[in-house]
Amino acid sequence: MALNITIPAASLAVGAHTFGPGAIPAGLSHAMLTLDTTPYDALPGPTLDFKAELSQDSGVSFPITLATAKYVPPNGSLHGVQQHTTSFVVDLPGVSPAGNTWRIRATIIVSNQSYDPVNTGSLAVT
Amino acid sequence: MAIAHVAAWTAAQFNNVSTGTNTARASTTNNFMAVGVTINNNALFSSIATTSNTLTQRAPASGWQNTGGDSIRIYAAEGITGAASHTVTVNTSSNAFFVVCASEYSGLATSGAFDQIAGAGVSGAGTSFDSGATPTTTRANELLVGYGDQDAGGNGSFVAGASFNVRSSIGTAASGSTGALEDRIVSATGAYNGLMSSSGFTGPTGWDMLIATFADVALAASNTEFGSRTNIPNPHVGPMTLRQGWRQPPIYAVNLAPITDTNFGPPTRVPNNRVGPVVLRQFYRRPSLSFDTTNARSAATGTPVLCGGILNSAIVRSGGIVA
């Protein structure tokens, strides 16, 4: 069974915002963090740093940063198609074992506006 | 020490972002690091960096391999400085879609390991990748690093070519670019192809494949010219300055024959009755001398000298004084 941590639509204040953690079921191998960066209004989209972090001690600490990325408006295009979704995909450090104490969380860091609109997003482990 | 695979960094796909850093892992000093990169628009690529080390582009020799759509490169760092938290970061000038795959090896030369490359791609359907053959490798014991990408939709996976092992790969084409890094360790010289295939993708529209080879010992410097060629004029064989510490630039048109009978500088007319000191313009040739005696006069009588003079080696051809 996959794990899905929802990132709700919100206006995020400057600073770090954490979503999760969630327990990783056994037998999963990679994580995908996705954010819908479509602007709510005519304002420029947000500049965001985002990352997925992994704990192997039931969430006491998150020493493993699976990946980090920076989104800067405007959106890029893939094969000529304008994109409004920002994401990264990265493998877990091996397949999650049965009875594991792994936890995963997403962090979004807002740095350029007082409040940045972020549409829905998710951190999916499959 | 034989060449061996140590471990791979987790492959990472970054979509619609301007900076992406993969998962950190510990690396060991003096090992070797190979990195494959895919990007959907290479004009947006700015830089690639890795913790405490410098990555050098190895394949293709310049630019990108991008026949099939997305663009790919192989980078390498030889004799790395190890780090407990070693990452690779790609920066782009604007949001882009890119993939980073990396792997660490031991047993390679800590410098001068890079040997041969090949690359190819196809625009259109196809799931079997072939870089084409490298020139014959220099050393028997070499590491072959292959990197390929599939332009397609959906999600798929990569399958190593014969005798290769895929170490790091991303096949989620539905959300962005793809890529797979593979390797093969050989023990004989030869012309090697980077081979790989893919499966499970939707509607493949192209692929690209690169291979780069790296040796277990430093390869001798090739016979490379440094600086521009300079013709040395005859007969001026002057001092030569080495432009590099260990290679002498090629020398062309050096004539070691005896110096020929050559005039240096134009003849100089000596004013009437004023044969002053003569300065040779060169060390070993005296300029031709000629005297204009047209208006010379006898010092005793003041009678003009009608003709006379000295030409070459003080030979008086004719002359006299008319009283």
| A70, A76, A90 member nearest B22 (Cβ) | A90
Q: Report the alpha-carbon distance of residue A46 to residue A74 in Å, rounded.
A: 9
Residues B285-307 as b/e (b if ≥16 CB within 10 A, e otherwise) read eeeebebebeebeeeeeeeebee
- Å from B116 to nearest chain A CA? 31
Model confidence at A38: pLDDT above 50: yes
- Å from B87 to nearest chain A CA? 9
Q: State the pLDDT at residue B66.
A: 95
Return the SS3 of B43. helix
Q: Report the alpha-carbon distance of residue B323 to residue B298 in Å, rounded.
A: 9
Higher pLDDT, B251 or B117: B117
| A68, A78, A84 member nearest B97 (Cβ) | A78
B176 touches chain A (CB under 8 A): yes
Asked if B40 and A79 come within 8 Å (Cβ–Cβ), the reply is yes
A42 touches chain B (CB under 8 A): no
Q: Which DSSP state fits B282?
A: S
Residues of chain A with C-beta less than 8 angstroms from the C-beta of B19 = 68-70
Model confidence at B182: pLDDT above 90: yes
* Over residues B68-76, mean pLDDT: 95
Q: Report the alpha-carbon distance of residue B108 to residue B105 in Å, rounded.
A: 7
Please say whether the beta carbons of B111 and B30 come within 8 A.
Answer: no
pLDDT tens by residue, B218-272:
997 655 555 666 665 665 555 555 454 444 444 454 445 554 555 555 665 555 5
Asked if A68 and B21 come within 8 Å (Cβ–Cβ), the reply is yes
Question: What H or E segment, with its residue span, contains residue B148?
Answer: strand B141-153
- This model of the complex carries an ipTM of 0.87
Q: State the pLDDT at residue B290.
A: 47
| Tokens (6 digits) for B5 | 């695979």
- Å from A80 to nearest chain B CA? 10
B-interface mutation test, from A53, A86, A87, A111, most B Cβ less than 10 A away: A87
* Over residues A40-67, mean pLDDT: 84
Please say whether the beta carbons of B156 and B227 come within 8 A.
Answer: no
Please say whether the beta carbons of A30 and A89 come within 8 A.
Answer: yes
Share of chain A above pLDDT 70, in %: 87
Q: Which DSSP state fits A92?
A: -
User: If contacts are CB pairs under 8 Å, which of residues 28-47 in chain B contact chain A?
Assistant: 40-41, 44
- Å from B101 to nearest chain A CA? 10
A87 touches chain B (CB under 8 A): yes
Q: What is the mean pLDDT of chain B?
A: 82
Residues of chain B with C-beta less than 8 angstroms from the C-beta of A45 = none
Please say whether the beta carbons of B196 and B182 come within 8 A.
Answer: yes
Q: Report the alpha-carbon distance of residue B262 to residue B281 in Å, rounded.
A: 12
Using alpha carbons, list the distances in angstroms from residue A10 to A35, A37, A51.
Answer: 12, 11, 18
Share of chain B above pLDDT 90, in %: 66
Q: Report the alpha-carbon distance of residue B135 to residue B116 in Å, rounded.
A: 6
Residues of chain A with C-beta less than 8 angstroms from the C-beta of B157 = none
User: If contacts are CB pairs under 8 Å, which of residues 61-80 in chain A contact chain B?
Assistant: 64-79
| B69, B96, B175 member nearest A89 (Cβ) | B175
Could you tell me the pLDDT band of residue A80, with boundaries at 50, 70 and 90?
confident
B145 bridge partner residues: B183, B212
Residues of chain B with C-beta less than 8 angstroms from the C-beta of A76 = 16, 40-41, 44, 94-97
Asked if B95 and A75 come within 8 Å (Cβ–Cβ), the reply is yes
Chain A CA closest to residue B101: A90
Residues of chain A with C-beta less than 8 angstroms from the C-beta of B96 = 76
Q: Report the alpha-carbon distance of residue A36 to residue A9 in Å, rounded.
A: 9
Q: State the pLDDT at residue B135.
A: 97
- Å from B220 to nearest chain A CA? 39
pLDDT tens by residue, B226-241:
566 666 566 555 555 5
Q: Which DSSP state fits B44?
A: G
